[in-house]
Homo-oligomer: A and B are copies of this chain.
Amino acid sequence: MKHNFYAGPSILPQSVYKQAQEAIENFAGTGVSLLSISHRSKEFSAVMERARALVKELLKLDDDFEVLFLQGGASMQFLQIPYNLMRSKSAYLDTGTWAFKAAKEARYFGEVDVVASSKDKKYTYIPKMYQIPEDADYFHITTNNTIYGTQMHAIPDSPVPIVADMSSDIFSREMDFNRFGLIYAGAQKNMGPAGTVMVAVRKSLLGRTGRDIPTMMNYQTHIDKASMFNTPPVFAVYGSMLTMEWVKNKGGLKAMEKINDEKSRLLYDELDRNPLFITHVAKEDRSKMNVTFDLKDDSLKERFDNMWKEAGIVGLKGHRSVGGYRASLYNALPLESVRVLVDVMKELERTA
């Protein structure tokens, strides 16, 4: 078995692979494949309902929230969010490529106030001093920046509803999620297989724009049909449900946070100690999900690459836009995999 550090699609619990395989053979005792049964069947309707309920349960969301499993990824939400929530002005915090792309789509609907940006230092920190305009319809943040390896460890006070892209740190830590107006997350990191995006939105924020929203873009369409207005991405929703059950059975977000703290501490401690490596991210903004680092001496690259590959590690290459290395430590990655990586780093030091 490989030690899988991919940034997304990424490692899922072993039990999820097994249960998904079984469902492809015979779904919920129907004698029919999960891939070949009506989404209106009572067996699949129950999966969708269970997946929606698990999000509310794991995040401890209050009853104003509706949970949807949609398609198009977080990128489609960049458009769908302003379509539904923005009258004429919104505020965005620019903490990386995805945050920047999110703000870009809002410009179709009016004024976009980018309250702060860390682009000046290649997104290696999270801006903390800024003013959120009180007349914005919402304030958009990206809680974890997958490409750069930064994470918001405190959610700012905001005079307007906070909209948060949690694609790469959903279900990874405890937090008061009722502080948000809308939370969304592409499945393919901590939630399940690629192919669905989870949206948890406060009903009380909808229907205020005066805009005639196209059917599929309108959250209300999907809320009214319990997230089954049209054929949902069946397999991705099923895999997400299985993964959330696993999170719950392991002890929920509290347990995930504990193991994620442990895994990230182990790796950052080694990166701080080992003289061959360097990290660029401001210490207080380090991500516990995506750890980015470089070799100080590029001539060691081939040797290091061969060593971790031989150790059974995959997915350690940095994002193509920034280079270097990135180790993603999502919920399903075992502590043992981090130990193997740290051992390779120590071995490189010893033999360099």
Contacts and interface: CB of A to CB of B under 8 A. Distances in A.
A31 B320 CA distance: 23
A232 interface: yes
Given A75-B230, A214-B108, A216-B78, A193 B30 contact: no
B9 A17 contact: no
A73 B231 contact: yes
A217 interface: yes
A165 to B, nearest CB: 13
B31 A9 contact: no
A235 interface: yes
Interface in A111-159: none
A145 to B, nearest CB: 16
A33 B12 contact: yes
A104 B221 CA distance: 14
Interface string A305-317: 0000000101100
Interface residues of A, number: 63
A186 interface: yes
A144 B7 CA distance: 41
A72 B71 CA distance: 5
Contact of A21 (B6, B10, B21, B38): B21
Please indicate which of the listed interface residues A38, A101, A194, A214 has the most CB atoms of chain B within 10 Å of its own CB. A194
A143 to B, nearest CB: 18
Given A35-B9, A39-B9, A105-B215, A194 B233 contact: yes
A37 interface: yes
A206 to B, nearest CB: 19
Interface of A: 1-2, 4, 6-12, 16-17, 20-21, 24-25, 30-33, 35-40, 70-76, 78-79, 101, 104-105, 108, 186, 188, 193-196, 212, 214-217, 229-236, 239, 312, 314-315, 320
Given A186-B231, A235-B236, 4 more contacts: A4-B32, A8-B38, A21-B21, A193-B234
